[in-house]
Every structure is written in structure tokens, then in C-alpha cells.
Structure 1
Amino acid sequence: MTTLLESHEHKSLREAVSAFARSHPRATGPAESRHFWQEAGKLGYIGVSLPEAYGGGGGGVTELSLVLEEMGAAGNPLLMMIVSPAICGTVIARFGTEEQKRTWLPGIADGTRLMAFGITEPDAGSNSHRITTTARRDAATGDWLLTGRKVFISGVDIADATLIVGRTEDARTGKLKPCLFIVPRDTPGFERRQLDMELHATEKQFELTLDDVRLPADALVGDEDAGLLQLFAGLNPERIMTAAFGIGIGRYALARALDYARERTVWKTPIGAHQAIAHPLAQAHIDLELSRLMTQKAAHLYDAGDDMGAGEAANMAKYAAGEACVKAVDQAVHTLGGNGLTREFGLATLITAARVARIAPVSREMILNYVSHQTLGLPKSY
């Protein structure tokens, strides 16, 4: 599936990723998912958005979102694509020191190293201003000491390090400001507990505890005073990639439903001939295509350096794709009836997976708040 907005190079990339992803069976466990990740890394798909000087493909979020969408459409959506190259890789590439770039970007690009991202806290979900994980300097050594908790952090067990969002005190105002720190997995005081999730996914979710975690001064990514600028440099790609994640899942579910509707015959014709079946599937396709166009717009704006325009478009894309994904999966399961809940057809597990695209990394209600305030100029209620 290509669009008029895509260049010849993008169409070729889409076709190559699709062929690669379809040549692999659906990953149903961590081992298969890791193998698929490593193979994708060797082909340059994981690092397609990272700078060529550090082993990447020199593209942008446009190319990376295209890769994730096609993987999802083939039944192999990689959740950590949203986290490792899109958030962590982007932030380090834009704001990291030369040493941080040389240390992390080549491995992220070729899939041999993985980074998780820790922002959400038990009392700071939608409102990131309530983050309480704090970092303070050890005056004697210059080290940083991090203390706090994080929750719903993906893939910490398989990640070499986690990019942690903490807060430091502004010496001038006394107010806390966000800062980013690279915390290696085995750092003393950095503990993890796996959350008991009903969501079927190869990537596990964790609660993190940081108890005076000591980090060297160079663990800080970027400027201590940059604050939200650096944070949103990673959050906008996160929204764009989540949209691509949802579109890919929706396309996969829709394709399974279409195959079934063309063949399944109850009366005299295949069930797909009946408008009660055909029209909802057509609506699902339309919704997916419209959300894809907004995703492409958001990716283009971000890659062009328009952070403000990309923020608006990324939120809209994530909203539209989340809704389209849930509807497509629901309609696919409904089309197959009882078969839609069997392991054979592989749709039932997508019911919960699709919900992720709707609620994470930001809820649809908060996106509506953003659009009503930032785009429409309406007053806040909070």
C-alpha cells in the first residue's frame, strides 16, 4: 500500500520491508521477536532514521514510521521500534555528546543494542509535570544521584540501558525542570519488577525503582537547562510511531477479514458480497488511509524541523490511528465470528494490542485537550 505522497525511494523501502516481514512467521514469543529484531537490524531497518555517521540510514521519522507500519501489516509489529530508535535514538542524535553518540547510536542502528524509555510514574501519567523522580549532584564527585519510581516501562529486561526522565532543581528559580539520563541496566540501585499484564505481547512491562542511583556526570543527555525542548524531541516521534504501529495492526486485521469474507460462503455467495459485511470493512479501510495521511504529514513536519507543527499533527495522527486500529480489529473479529477468537486466525490477541494504540503513550482525551487548547484556542478546564 503506497500513497501519492510517497517518493519512489519510499515506495521501494515499503516494498522491501513488506517482503522481509512477510518472509518471517509471526513472532509469538520473546525469542522469535528478538530474532526478527536482529534480522531487521542487519538490513538497516531499525536504524533507518539515525545519522549515517553513526551507522544509521540517514533518513528520518518518515522512513522509520513506514518501516514499522509495514512490519505491523505483516503481523510483526515491534513495539520497541517506538522506543529504542524513535525516542532514545532521536534524542541522543539531536542532543547527545559525541561520546554518547559513538557509544549508543551504532548499536541501536544495527539492532545489537536496545534502549528503553522511562517517563511514566504511578502519580504522573498524563500530567508529566508531576514527575517526582529527581536528580541531584554530588558536590564532592560531580556524579548524579537519581531517586524515584517509574511504571509501565517496556522492555527493560532486554534493554542495555533506559533513558530516564528525571528532574533537577534550577539554581536560579528553585523550580524543578526535566532532564534525561542514560541508566545502564545493571547499575546498582536500579531495580525492576515485572508487571502482571493480561496484554499478550512479547515485550514485558515493568515498574522501576531508583534508589540513589549513582551516575557519572556524562550520563546526562543534552543541556541541563534545555528542559521540555529535549523531552518533546522524543515524544513527537513517539506519537508518530505509535500511529504507524496502530495502522500496521489495523491493516493486518483488515487483510485477514477480507481474505475470510471473500471465501466464506453461508448462503449462495461469499459473505463479503453482503453490504452488512462489506460496508464496515470499507469504512475501516477509509479510516486507516486517512490516519495514514495524517501520520505522513506529521512525520514530514518533524523531519523538516517544524517541532510546533509536528506536535499538533503527531497528536492528531496518533488519535486517528488509534481509533482506526481499534475499529478495524473489532470489525475483523466480528467478520470472522467465532473463528475470530481462535488461535488459528490470530486476531483475538490483537483486541488488547489495538487498545494500546488508543491509550498509550497519551490518551485520546488528552489529545482532544491539546487540540482544543493549542489549535482551537479554547480555555483550559484544568
Structure 2
Amino acid sequence: MSEGTSSSIESSFIESSFIESEERRELRASVAKLAQRYNYVDYVLPRARRGEPLTELWNEAGKLGFLGVNLPEEYGGGGAGIYELALVQEELAAHGAGLLLVVVSPAICGTIIGKYGTAAQKEQWLPGLADGSKIMAFGITEADAGSNSHQITTTARRDGDDWILRGNKIYISGVDQADAVLIVARTEDAKTGKLRPALFIVPTDAENFQRTQMDMDIIEPDHQFMLFLDDVRLPADALVGEPDAALMQLFAGLNPERILGAAMAVGMGRYAIDAAVKYANERSVWKTAIGAHQGISHPLAQVKIELELAKLMMRKAAVLYDSGDDFGAAEAANMAKYAAAEASIKALDQAIQTHGGAGLTEEYGLAAMLGAARIARVAPVSREMILNFVSQHSLGLPKSY
């Protein structure tokens, strides 16, 4: 690579990561304007307490083109990248209106179908995923496999031209809102007897497809489900991509999942800091606003620094992914998700501490958001598995699991 080429790439990376274009700044402003109308206290939290999805926000975000900003223009998307979708998610979450299904439907499923789906699958699903009129959930996790996706036992076997799926999934988000679930199953290699991963589009109204809502002890508008596939029959065209290439196809969706998860965490952290700063400027106990005291200001300043660092890593991950650097994106996406989760949890905890007793009241809803933010430490991948990844792939240490 010539010095000129290297300098050009570096310049492009710096511009994409640190200095957002006017178009991106306008997108941020537009999303923020929408999120202000569907804000946390007046809209999101009341619906979450009732266990109701954020349907109105989802529909309007779809009509405005925000949900499909990363999907191809020929299918109704914005033709941009994961960077722009992460931007949308961050700005929504910064007003307490982050959409969990943005992580799943356009980021994971839309990306995978856009890259590996057939022409018919793209035509059937991408326009709806882009405008929000269709939602696709994602089913990989199993009770006995946990973080070891190589151990999933949901199987797909041939029956003539059809596929028959059998197995169970757990912690699958938003199935009640979805038209279909992109299921990760395993096909059997007739020659070796080994099971290989494969991806299937399973309509939620398919015969023998059952779901059970899980009882979660957090306040969220989106529900988690256990899925039961008891010999679900699917046509041949339900298979996405190649039956023995799904591991590569799977990771095409998991890196965006981590980046979008980081974006949601960064947004929640921003919301927490904004709420804490507002309260610290208004609350006066000893003649001056409590924000003047270093016991309040320094912890908030520290959290601000940590959140901005996480945001930079999230941007780096998005730029690397959009540029086609899969390995670099995987490393950065894992680091971004780790850093953003830790920073957002710390930000919310400090926001509650800044508010004192008021931080635990329903009026502010910060304790409820802390429970939601805590999810980022364990999903979509636990911080321990991220540390395993960094130990092995970034540091070159022996594999420990």
C-alpha cells in the first residue's frame, strides 16, 4: 500500500469517526426532534410500566426512514451504514426512547438478509424492515447452550424439498411484535454426521411454532419469550444463504448487534448525565447549587469522560464494519459494547446518587432505567465473554474455554 493510499484511508477514518458530516448532524437533529416528542418520562416509561410496546414511536420512526437507514436504497432503505443506524439508536436512547428491536430487526436480520438472502427474500422482507411495517426477531440463545452458540441443539432436517425444525429458544425479544423470527438451527452433514449452523426465516404464525412470555423483573416495553419448535415445516426458500455457511453469515449480524447495543447504552448514559446535571444545577441545599460541590461534580465529570471514550470506540467499530474490515470491527464492536455498558450503568448509578432520595422515585424513573441498562452487561454477550475474546484475539493469550 502506498503512502498516499494509507494517508487517504487514515484521513477518511478520522473524518468518519471524529468529525461528522453535515448530513449526519442533520440526521441526529431529526431523530432528536422525534425522540423529544416520545420522551422517557411522558411516553416510554408509562408504556413500559404497562408492558406495552412503543408502537407509535416505531411506526413514526419507520415512516421517517430512520429504521431502515442502513438498508439498500433499492429496497426502500437509506443506503447508508451501521454508523447511521447506531446514530439513530443513540439519539433515541439519549431521550430515553431507545428501541430494542432496532438492534434486532434492521441491524441483525436486515443486514443478514441484505448480504446473504435470495432476491425473493430481499424483495419480501427488506422494504418492510426498512419502513417498520414488518418486524423480524432473532432466535439464537438456548437454555443449555448459553454463550456457547456452537452447542445449540435446534435442528433442521430435510423432508423432500421442505425443512423440518425442532428445538427450543430462550430470551428472544419482541416475538409478539414480529412477523417472523430468524432462527439459528443446525443441519446434519450426511457424510460426516456433524451438525452445521444454518439460518431460517420462521413466520410467527407457522404451525407448531409456539411462544411463551417470560416473567422478567425489569421494567421494559419489550417482552422476552421462550420458543418451542415442534417439527415446524418450512419451504425450501426459508433457508437464508447456504446451509453450511451460516457461521460467517451469523457474524455478519452479530457485529452490528454489538454496535447497536453499545449505541443504546451510550444514549442511556447521556440521558442519565443530562438528568443529573439538570438536577445538580437546580437543587440548592447549602446556599449554592449542589453541582458546585466536587462530591457531585467530579463523579459526573468522570462518567462523562468514560462515556465519551465508549462513544469513540462505538464509532470506530461502525466505521470499520461499514468499510468491510470484519476482524477489526469484531474487536472494536466487542470493546465498544463492553465500555458502553459499564459507562451507562455507572452514569445511571451516579445520576441516582446525585438526585438522592428523589433518584429512587417514580417521578424521575432513573431506577427503572438502571435495571434496563444493566441488561447490557449480560446481553447480547456477557462482559466475561468479551474479556475472553480480547484476551485471546487481541492479546494472543491461550483460549480459556
Shorter-normalised TM range: over 0.9
The size of the alignment, in residue pairs, is 379
Q: Residue 331 of structure 1: SS of its match in structure 2?
A: helix
> Aligned partners of 1:174 and 1:134: how far apart in 2?
13
* TM-score between the two structures when normalised by the length of structure 1: 0.97
Cα shift at 1:341? 0.9
Which of 67, 80, 101 is the aligned partner of 2:101? 80
> Aligned partners of 1:308 and 1:294: how far apart in 2?
15
Letter in 1 for 2:267: G
Partner of 1:289: 308
Letter in 1 for 2:343: A
Q: Displaced runs of 4+ in structure 1, greater than 6 A?
A: none
Q: Is the 8 A contact 2:388 2:400 kept in 1?
A: no
Q: Residue 199 of structure 1: SS of its match in structure 2?
A: coil
Q: Residue 176 of structure 2: SS of its match in structure 1?
A: coil
> Aligned partners of 2:381 and 2:140: how far apart in 1?
12
Partner of 1:213: 232
Which of 3, 6, 10 is the aligned partner of 2:24? 10
Deviates more, 1:8-17 or 1:102-111: 8-17
Partner of 1:334: 353
Q: Deviations over 1:42-81 (max 9, x none)?
A: 0000000000000000011000000000000011010000
Partner of 1:130: 151
Cα shift at 1:87? 0.3
Cα shift at 1:173? 2.7
Higher fraction of helix: 2
> Aligned partners of 2:60 and 2:183: how far apart in 1?
28
Partner of 1:267: 286
Q: Deviations over 1:155-189 (max 9, x none)?
A: 00110000000011123432111110000011011
Cα shift at 1:32? 6.3
- What percent identity do the matched residue pairs reach? 63
Q: Deviations over 1:219-270 (max 9, x none)?
A: 0001112131000000000000000010011111111110000010010110
Q: Is the 8 A contact 2:17 2:315 kept in 1?
A: no
> Aligned partners of 1:64 and 1:260: how far apart in 2?
31
Superposed, which structure 2 residues align to 1:168-317 within 5 Å? Answer: 168-317=187-336
Cα shift at 1:117? 0.3
> Aligned partners of 1:343 and 1:255: how far apart in 2?
18
Cα shift at 1:283? 0.8
Q: Is the 8 A contact 2:17 2:316 kept in 1?
A: no
Letter in 2 for 1:21: A
Letter in 2 for 1:341: L
Q: Residue 177 of structure 2: SS of its match in structure 1?
A: coil
Q: Residue 75 of structure 1: SS of its match in structure 2?
A: coil
Partner of 2:87: 66
> Aligned partners of 2:200 and 2:180: how far apart in 1?
10
Q: Deviations over 1:190-234 (max 9, x none)?
A: 100000001111100000000000000000001112131000000
Q: Residue 114 of structure 2: SS of its match in structure 1?
A: helix
Superposed, which structure 2 residues align to 1:114-125 within 5 Å? Answer: 114-125=135-146
Superposed, which structure 2 residues align to 1:128-167 within 5 Å? Answer: 128-138=149-159, 141-167=160-186
Q: Residue 157 of structure 2: SS of its match in structure 1?
A: strand
Q: 1:129–1:3: structure 2 CA closer, same or farther, 3 Å change rule?
A: closer
Cα shift at 1:31? 5.2
> Aligned partners of 2:52 and 2:390: how far apart in 1?
41
Letter in 2 for 1:352: G
Q: Residue 198 of structure 2: SS of its match in structure 1?
A: strand
Q: Residue 116 of structure 1: SS of its match in structure 2?
A: strand
> Aligned partners of 2:337 and 2:191: how far apart in 1?
37
Letter in 2 for 1:14: R
Q: Do residues 25 (structure 1) and 51 (structure 2) align?
A: no
Unaligned runs of 5+ in 2: 1-15
Q: Residue 211 of structure 1: SS of its match in structure 2?
A: strand
Q: Do residues 100 (structure 1) and 121 (structure 2) align?
A: yes
Q: Is the 8 A contact 2:52 2:222 kept in 1?
A: no
> Aligned partners of 2:18 and 2:358: how far apart in 1?
36
Partner of 1:352: 371
> Aligned partners of 1:278 and 1:22: how far apart in 2?
26
Which of 391, 395, 400 is the aligned partner of 1:372? 391
> Aligned partners of 1:24 and 1:243: how far apart in 2?
21
* TM-score between the two structures when normalised by the length of structure 2: 0.93
> Aligned partners of 2:371 and 2:357: how far apart in 1?
17
Cα shift at 1:5? 3.1
> Aligned partners of 1:151 and 1:118: how far apart in 2?
8
Q: CA RMSD in A?
A: 1.2
Q: Deviations over 1:15-39 (max 9, x none)?
A: 1111111122332326561100000
Unaligned runs of 5+ in 1: none
